[in-house]
Structure 1
């Protein structure tokens, strides 16, 4: 380090009035806080931005929850108001045409449509009504149309009933899958009648098996499901034919052969038991007389 003589230092010096020297301004508390915030934002800006964003979202969500019910009530009131004005203007649904229903009641269809006296054609939701009607048990497919100014048309295609199922004193109509599609009110007397728990589920298999032996259907009034395992055939004469659990088609073929050869179904018997493959057992209506007593 080079030393400077005092004579050299004072050589360039000049007298100065101390009052003319600048006085540094003191930083206020607000400036100090601002400086600290700027320093913190530079170092931790991403954390601060994330916190602010979360806070804003929370405030917005809280405000939305608080105003949701008033907004919903306002929209409902506005919708009702508009419906009434559309109805007053001649756009209220005034005519409903329904075709294709037999098993499905008109009342059930009206309920599914959801049309009120002040429902306007303009506001009627065709797709929602179609979805509700399609859920009715007997409906296979449905078309709903609205025609301005005031008409709604419903065209229904129903499932095909294949049998009647009687359980607990009530007779239902069932489709090929065994599903209940309506009550039998006397219009389906030509369909086969099945009786007992579980009969509807297996009815189609038994009906198709009998289709191969039309001679066995004469006078047949019901098919009774026994313990949900096998079938009994019941005739109008009171004759009951007991079928096996397995090999039903073979048993029906044997019965058809005996009918063709010996008119077994026309004999004076109450029960024909085919549950054992190698045996055809019969129970006569009148027990045979004992030869020793004659």
Structure 2
């Protein structure tokens, strides 16, 4: 009698108990597992689905107009309550670096109704508004603790008094208009310049005035001629006509000549220095008569 061979055993995995079930996953389980491993599917479940749920709830919540109006009113009231807190309120306007007249004009131009919340103020448009004044070279605005709005102004300083067809005006050292002037006597310390095109030549005018310091007691002003050159006006009706180029050097040369020979103390009305290589002079009628007498005497007439 031959021995009976045992039947082979089926194991699901090593060391597991023998089982008759197939260890492979089902088709549905395999597909779900593969789908869950897809990044787009996981992102949709983790982000997209909650986002859609929140959006749906928000649309449902905001579908009621009365509820929306209540929320809007609450937000506005909360915002206004924060903006009107004492630490955000501006109570004082301080203007620094300006004359009293200019400060009053700036206050009137800004027309601020204080107290005012700092959230209701736009500093840049206000700064541009202040700099629109001719007398203001630059302005800076800042809010200091304690509710103080400070306007720091750099005011233009008048350098010359300009006489033109419209009257009198004040110009700074760069030729910028500062303000109008009522009379010459209001600005006795400023040099007087006249003519068209003075605004573009103020630096040269100031250089000529500095060079004419030896004639300061006699200097009455400068005249711009043809918007291209200067005439120096002295007392006794004397006029020095300067060239278009190197006017300062020509004036210094003439002053040196006057200091050596007292030329300007003579009966001269015009010194034409437009051509420095050939200067000419024009005499007064009295000077012409005196020269004629000298000539007559020399020739025995």
TM-score, normalised with respect to structure 1? 0.60
Whether the 8 Å contact between 2:91 and 2:116 is mirrored in structure 1 is no
In structure 1, the partner of 2:265 is: 266
Question: Structure 2 vs 1, CA of residues 245 and 86 (structure 1 numbering), >3 Å: closer, same or farther?
Answer: same
Give 1:281's aligned residue. Answer: 281
Match of 1:40 in 2: none
| Cα offset, 1:122, TM superposition | 5.0
Deviation at 1:225, TM superposition (A): 0.5
CA distance in 2, matches of 1:148, 1:232: 56
**In 2 relative to 1, CA 240–189 (structure 1 residues): closer, same or farther, beyond 3 Å?**
same
Structure 1: tracts of 5 or more residues without a match = 1-73
Alignment match of 1:113 (pick from 110, 114, 118): 110
Alignment of 1:93-112 (within 5 A): 94-102=91-99, 105-112=102-109
Aligned length: 216
- The CA deviation string for residues 230-264 of structure 1, in whole angstroms up to 9 with x for no partner, is 21111233221122223423421331122111222
- CA shift digits 1:159-207 (9 cap, x unpaired): 3433222212422222333221222466643232210110221121132
1:252-263 paired onto structure 2 within 5 Å = 252-263=251-262
Unaligned runs of 5+ in 2: 1-71
Task: State the SS of the aligned residue for 2:236.
Answer: coil
Change (3 A) 1:203 1:147: closer
Q: Secondary structure at the residue paired with 1:237?
A: helix
* SS of residue matched to 1:208: helix
1:272-291 superposed Cα distances (whole Å, 9 cap, x missing partner)? 22223312313225241554
CA distance in 1, matches of 2:118, 2:200: 43
1:107-186 mapped onto 2 (5 Å cutoff): 107-116=104-113, 119-121=116-118, 123-147=120-144, 151-184=148-181
Scaled by the length of structure 2, the TM-score of the pair is 0.58
CA drift of 1:95 comes to 3.4
Aligned to 2:207: 208
